[in-house]
């Protein structure tokens, strides 16, 4: 701890790649992985910098607990739906995130989930481990191939584009939906932009890469799952609230949806019991960015953002 140094509060944890440079310059208070909201509020007063992550809601009450010293909220994530941007703007607090460094990791995980769901890997592995494998069965675990399929990318941003490139490399035709045309993806991959419902109908595989906003809440519900269809695959590595989990569980149970690969959920870390029990469903615990280079890069980006603001410079990745 440096006497009289500015205080940076890390609500939960930050990896050494980001923590060390912060500790060299500031007094750092860390909440810990299992910290409660009350504990975060207790260490917040006097913070000049506040480090959050997707599981830490940053609202007016938390900003007020930090007090007038607060200048930057640095999110340890590219998504920032956990942060009340208006409340930050009102208080003149800068918000930053960690784009780019997690693009490859997240796109690769989405491809992994696509393959795992399309090929029923989760059910097959569960059966094997439980001693239910009775030998080679020509009718069992039959899925679909990416080669020759149509992959629908919802949100052709950085991660969506990288995912599309990988899927295209595996032989898929790419269609996409989103608020604006993406000439780069169209030129490079021959991607075609469709209306959302058209995309769902045209795609064998639908992968979500859009942010959580009021406009994308339950973007995928019962009607959309019917459009994806009994042979279709839904993949979500973006944010849980985009998908109605109960509707997915029901669609899997009834055979309305072919398969699902999910990495994110509403109300994490709890996952609906019905989804846990659903067939043809691969479930991961929000590990899209969990590679060494990606998480170290994110931690470094957090530190770079905090240091820049507290030293009076523009942060490398400012949201507001
Ligand atoms: C992000 O950066 O938004 C991810 O969800 C964290 O892995």
The 3-state secondary structure of the chain reads CCCCCCEEEECCCCCHHHHHHHHHHCEEEECCCCCCHHHHHHHCCCEEEEEECCCCCECHHHHHHHCCCCCEEEECCCCCCCECHHHHHHCCCEEECCCCCCHHHHHHHHHHHHHHHHCCHHHHHHHHHCCCCCCCCCCCCCCCCCCCCEEEEECCCHHHHHHHHHHHHCCCEEEEECCCCCHHHHHHHCCEECCHHHHHHHCCEEEECCCCCHHHCCCECHHHHHHHCCCCEEEECCCHHHECHHHHHHHHHHCCCCEEEECCCCCCCCCCHHHHHCCCEEECCCCCCCCHHHHHHHHHHHHHHHHHHHCCCCCCCECC
Quickly state the pLDDT bin for 154 (edges 50, 70, 90). Answer: very high
Select from 5, 13, 2, 33 the least CA-distant residue to 298: 13
Predicted pLDDT at 4: 80
26 and 32 Cβ atoms separated by less than 8 Å: no
**Ligand 1: distance of its center to the CA of 77 in Å?**
4
The answer on pLDDT for 187 being more than 60 is yes
Q: Which atom of ligand 1 is nearest to the CA of 237?
A: 5
The pLDDT of residue 3: 57
**For residue 67, what pLDDT is reported?**
98
Tell me: pLDDT of 2 over 90: no
Mean pLDDT of 272-280: 98
Residue 314 reports pLDDT greater than 90: yes
Per-residue pLDDT at 1: 45
Pocket test of ligand 1: the residue of 52, 74, 78 to mutate, having most ligand atoms within 8 Å of its CB, is 78
* Cα–ligand 1 centroid distance for 129 (angstroms): 31
Token pair for residue 45?
């007063």
* Confidence class for position 13, pLDDT limits 50, 70, 90: very high
Question: Mean per-residue pLDDT for 111-126?
Answer: 98
The chain-wide mean pLDDT, for the chain, equals 98
pLDDT tens column, 219-239: 999 999 999 999 999 999 999
């Amino acid at each position: 701890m440096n006497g009289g140094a500015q205080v940076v509060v890390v609500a939960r944890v930050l990896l050494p790649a980001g923590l060390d440079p912060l500790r060299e310059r500031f007094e750092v208070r860390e909440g810990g992985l299992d910290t409660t909201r009350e504990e975060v509020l207790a260490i917040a007063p006097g913070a000049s910098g506040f480090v959050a992550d997707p599981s830490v809601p940053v609202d007016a009450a938390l900003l007020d607990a930090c007090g007038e010293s607060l200048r930057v909220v640095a999110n340890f994530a590219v998504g920032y739906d956990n942060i009340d941007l208006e409340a930050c703007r009102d208080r003149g607090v800068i918000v930053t995130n960690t784009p780019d460094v997690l693009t490859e990791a997240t796109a690769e995980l989405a491809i992994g989930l696509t393959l795992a769901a399309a090929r029923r890997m989760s059910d097959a592995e569960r059966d094997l481990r439980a001693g239910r494998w009775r030998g080679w069965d020509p009718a069992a675990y039959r899925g679909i191939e990416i080669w020759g399929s149509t992959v629908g990318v919802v949100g052709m941003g950085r991660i969506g584009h990288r995912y599309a490139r990988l899927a295209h490399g595996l032989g898929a035709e790419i269609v996409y939906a989103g608020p604006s045309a993406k000439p780069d993806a169209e030129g490079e991959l021959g991607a075609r932009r469709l209306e959302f419902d058209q995309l769902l109908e045209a795609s064998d595989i639908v992968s979500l890469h859009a942010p959580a906003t009021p406009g994308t809440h339950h973007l995928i519900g019962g009607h959309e799952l019917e459009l994806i269809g009994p042979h279709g695959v839904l993949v979500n590595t973006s944010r849980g609230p985009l998908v109605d989990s109960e509707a997915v569980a029901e669609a899997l149970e009834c055979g309305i949806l072919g398969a699902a690969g999910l990495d994110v959920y509403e109300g994490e870390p709890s996952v609906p019991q019905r989804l846990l029990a659903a067939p043809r469903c691969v479930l991961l615990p929000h590990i899209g960015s969990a590679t060494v280079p990606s998480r170290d890069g994110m931690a470094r980006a957090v530190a770079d953002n905090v240091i820049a603001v507290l030293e009076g410079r523009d942060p490398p990745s400012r949201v507001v």
